[in-house]
Amino acid sequence: MLKVFFVYTITAFSFLSFSLVALWYLKSFELHLILIRLFLILEFCLICIFYNTLFKSTKIKYALISSAIIFITFCIYNYTKSLDKEFDFMPLMVECLFFTFFILYYFYDVMQNSFKVPLFQMPSFWISVAFLIYFSGNFFLFLFSKSMEHERNFELQYTLIYSTMTIVKNILLCIGVIVNNNNTLKIDRDTIPVHLPFEDLPTYNQH
């Protein structure tokens, strides 16, 4: 689970860096759009893989794989049909809407079936909260962006809202990693070796 999370983090940082280079230094808006669309596809697939490791239900796993394939097909079709290769917010809205409802279902499933560990001690809980806030908080931003992009000060408002959601998401993702490290250390401290050499067992003298 955490391996997928770290791959997601590295992918996000790499594509963000490459897209900024393409936009600011190469002055290629089309390359910038291609990189964003590729990251969007990889982000969707990696999050699907992340939740695929959490669910045991075959139906849920199949639904996640099918959703990823459908989303990839939709993104490719949407990009080829975009007018003058303008940035289209539709794939972003689809992603936000899908994961908002799916994460809510994940919380429902966890509350129904998880009794051994409190929610706040589960790394997947904090990671899911991070994505839920990020996707639900940006959905309406993406929804109204196309109609309000020519409004005065919209670019500043867009940057402020999106940056805030991203910062909150990253903070919660860090909490998830910290919680996992704390749980790992606790397990290591509480673990008792099963196979102890006979000579290492304590002896007691009877008087």
List, for residues 179-207, the tens digit of each pLDDT value.
Answer: 876 665 555 454 444 454 544 444 444 44
pLDDT of 69 over the 80 cut: yes
DSSP secondary structure of the chain: -HHHHHHHHHHHHHHHHHHHIIIIIS--HHHHHHHHHHHHHHHHHHHHHHHHTT---HHHHHHHHHHHHHHHHHHHHHHHHSGGG---SHHHHHHHHHHHHHHHHHHHHHHHH--SS-GGG-HHHHHHHHHHHHHHHHHHHHHHHHHHTTSTTHHHHHHHHHHHHHHHHHHHHHHHHHHHHHHHHHHHHH---SS--GGGS------
The pLDDT-based confidence of 52 (bands split at 50, 70, 90) is: very high
pLDDT of 11 over the 70 cut: yes
Domain boundaries defined on the chain:
1-85, 89-183
List, for residues 72-97, the tens digit of each pLDDT value.
Answer: 999 988 888 876 566 788 999 999 99
